[in-house]
Structure 1
Amino acid sequence: MLKISPKFVSAVQNAKSLAELFPMLQNAIELEHSTIPPYLTALFSFKANTESDIRKVIHSIVIEEMLHMTIAANILNAVGGCPAISRPDFVPNYPTHLPMGIGGSLIVGIEKYSLDVVHNVFMEIEEPENPIEFKTMALAATEATYKTIGDFYRALQAKIAELAPDELPGNPAKQVTSSFFSSDLLYPILTKTDAINAINVIVEQGEGSEVSPLGTDDELAHYYKFEELYKGRELVRDPNAPNGYSFTGPVIPFDPSNVLPLYPNTKAEMLPEGSEERRLLDSFNQTYSNLLFGLHQTFNGHPDNLNNTIGLMFDLRLACQKLAEMPFPGQDGYTIGPSYEFVQPTTQL
């Protein structure tokens, strides 16, 4: 399981007011966002019209991470805080540790899709505290002094239940909803019960429950979706298996030759000034920064802007696909990866 610095859980547990939870909920937003660039890069690294089964799985996880980020922002708004999205320190400098010291020695980079990345990074990010034993790999030892992401979210639930009034103090007009997401999953956070239930959505979609690999939406949790990709088989109900499921479903094919050779952890400064390659990467980073600006505006009083902001994801995909097909200057055998570097946004509401 991923480890989290215990000071963050302690900070939640020791909070005496809702205002003291503001930075912790901001950290939650940053954590949910930090997984999106690595997952998107893996998704965008396939050659056109290949690996459709794998694409569908990763795409579904990216969408749910966006949902979790939105839920965390809604909760922060509901308790009276203000999400901060459009700023340089919001963006991880990949390769990096995850926010709040999560993952211990785990380094998360920007890399092409591979089974090693799925197993050693993505499954590590999403691994629950007690994975259900359809898996065969041994669990990594975790020092007792560390906490888990689940501990962090459960501490937030308990503290909101303790400190918050039944009707939360935030401005309801800042709550974000969208037809892009089911109203059972993304809804206005108006009461502390709403906040507690919304945190359950985040945890169970990522980890499942202790008795089922399914989340609150009856879909496989992220950890088990990635495990399907790693094992190359769908996880299906199996009454003869000890835990009711087994990796005996349809094969999920994967041909490594369908993955473009993206240079890992590309940075704009690696490309020649004035070159077409640099121009395109700068354009990608501009679109990414505009996306963050749009999300900042969405979460700070303009909730109707969400669908337009999500539309920038398609622009990112097109730019990344162009980069991924361009030879990397001076790096034989590699193409250019995205870099997700913050620049001053140019978009306006």
Structure 2
Amino acid sequence: MTEPTRISTLKDLRAALQLAVGLELSTVPVYLTALYSIEDGANTDAAQTIRSVVMEEMLHMTLAANVLNAIGEVPSPEPVEFQGRAHLSPIPAFPLDSPLISGIGTLELLPLTPAAVDSFVRIEHPLHGAATLAGIPASPGGFRTIGEFYDAVDTALGDPAICPDAVFRPVRQIPDSDYYGGAGHVIEVADRASARAAVLKIVDQGEGLPEEYLHRPAKTVTDEDRLGSGWQMYSHYARFRELQTGRRFRTHQLADETPEGSMLLVDYSAVRPALFTPRNGDWAGGPEDFAMDAFDLAYSRLVDDIYRAFAGEPTEVVDPLDGHTEPDRPTLRLAVHAMYALRNAAVALMRTPNPAKPGHTLCPRFSYVAPGGDRDKLVQRAEGGGGRGR
């Protein structure tokens, strides 16, 4: 069996953590597309499950960013060089074939369908649905599974020859008070032990779940995995497996078993039939394309706000109700609020008929447009009120 990729330099460790922030980000649009496609008032259990996982993906992004800051690198959406491979972007573009994880498969933006839920289970499965690790093709300088990737990150963090004690500094840390909405807590990283604890938290909750965890009770939880409402945040894989099978796990069941508990019904007919269309698709230049561009602009600004929060940059915010300016409010909380606001724009798209595909509606692209020429064009178009020209 091919030996897993090792991270042997501090430069590559920093690049890996930049890509880790992006890896966690890459699942958010996949899950949000399904969540936003659910018709109002329908599929409340499924919506709660997906929403809880999204919030924990935000936690995982924050944990990776805290580790990165603590080892002397500012989180950034700019491409990195890793294992001799240049221009690897942390920011996903959909449909996404990960340049980092070969086993994860293609990540697509789909409404809540059986195929979408199957993909959720594949993402969160320790082997991404493969029977054995050896059955997953390895790519040079990459990893077969998310778990293999995080194991390499943890090993490098634990090696003083790669990451000396003197590297660690508690700078630009997002505090736990800035995170809310899911289980778990933000770990502020000050040293090697807290850095490795942050990586372990990502692994325990979701992506990177060790294969042996499949042989533990599916609903294993700790005190910090329980919300005040009593909702128990067991692993992402187990939660999505319940959606896939339409039943809850019984308390005694193991994660690799088929859930046999109470029914968890998903009504796939109560879902907006959104259909992904890439940029410059069938109706490029039309009013629908303008609406899609406006969403991409809002999403791009949201991603920028998240990275500004991770970089410790304050932002000036104007309250839309009273015009009061607050220059130093925590930007991560603002970004979370912006994510909720993005829902309204996404739902509006999913209610708009797709002019090229009768019976379908528009689907948000979650296409990040970097600052500069193309972003400026989107801004100019938005300020000009749309139109068919570019």
For 1:118-129, what aligned pairs fall within 5 Å after superposition? 118-119=117-118, 121-129=119-127
Structure 1 Cα separation of the partners of residues 136 and 198 of structure 2: 28
> Deviation digits for residues 181-221 of structure 1, max 9, x if unmatched?
48962021111100111111101101373534336644321
Q: Name the counterpart of 1:327.
A: 353
* Larger CA deviation: 259-268 vs 42-51: 259-268
> Deviation digits for residues 74-127 of structure 1, max 9, x if unmatched?
1111111121127894432211212404326x21111111112211x1111110
* Larger CA deviation: 207-216 vs 194-203: 207-216
Report the AA paired with residue 345 of structure 2. A
Structure 1 Cα separation of the partners of residues 280 and 343 of structure 2: 18
For 1:1-349, what aligned pairs fall within 5 Å after superposition? 9-10=5-6, 12=7, 14-15=8-9, 18-85=10-77, 89-103=89-103, 106-119=105-118, 121-129=119-127, 139=131, 142-143=134-135, 146=138, 147-163=144-160, 164-166=163-165, 168-170=167-169, 172-179=170-177, 180-181=179-180, 185-206=185-206, 207=209, 209=213, 211-213=216-218, 214=220, 217-218=224-225, 219-238=233-252, 247-267=259-279, 269-275=281-287, 277-302=288-313, 304-343=330-369, 344=371
The structure with higher relative contact order (CA 8 Å, sep 6+) is 1
Structure 1 Cα separation of the partners of residues 35 and 136 of structure 2: 35
Say which SS state the counterpart of residue 287 (structure 1) adopts.
helix
Is residue 111–residue 265 contact of structure 1 (8 Å, CA) maintained in 2?
no
Say which SS state the counterpart of residue 258 (structure 1) adopts.
coil
Structure 1 Cα separation of the partners of residues 72 and 337 of structure 2: 28
1:47–1:268 CA distance, 2 compared to 1 (3 A): farther
Structure 1 Cα separation of the partners of residues 356 and 255 of structure 2: 51
Give the alignment's Cα RMSD to 1 decimal.
2.9
Report the AA paired with residue 103 of structure 1. G
1:152–1:342 CA distance, 2 compared to 1 (3 A): closer
Q: List gaps (5 residues or longer) in structure 1.
A: 132-136
Structure 2 Cα separation of the partners of residues 195 and 22 of structure 1: 13
> Deviation digits for residues 237-260 of structure 1, max 9, x if unmatched?
13xx57898623321111121011
Report the AA paired with residue 347 of structure 2. Q
Structure 2 Cα separation of the partners of residues 30 and 215 of structure 1: 27
> Deviation digits for residues 131-166 of structure 1, max 9, x if unmatched?
9xxxxx983674377443222212221221112344
Q: List gaps (5 residues or longer) in structure 2.
A: 80-87, 139-143, 226-232, 315-329, 380-390
Shift of 1:271: 3.2
Report the AA paired with residue 91 of structure 2. V
Q: Name the counterpart of 2:83.
A: none
Is residue 168–residue 192 contact of structure 2 (8 Å, CA) maintained in 1?
no
Is residue 109–residue 276 contact of structure 2 (8 Å, CA) maintained in 1?
yes
TM-score using structure 2 length: 0.75
Shift of 1:281: 1.4
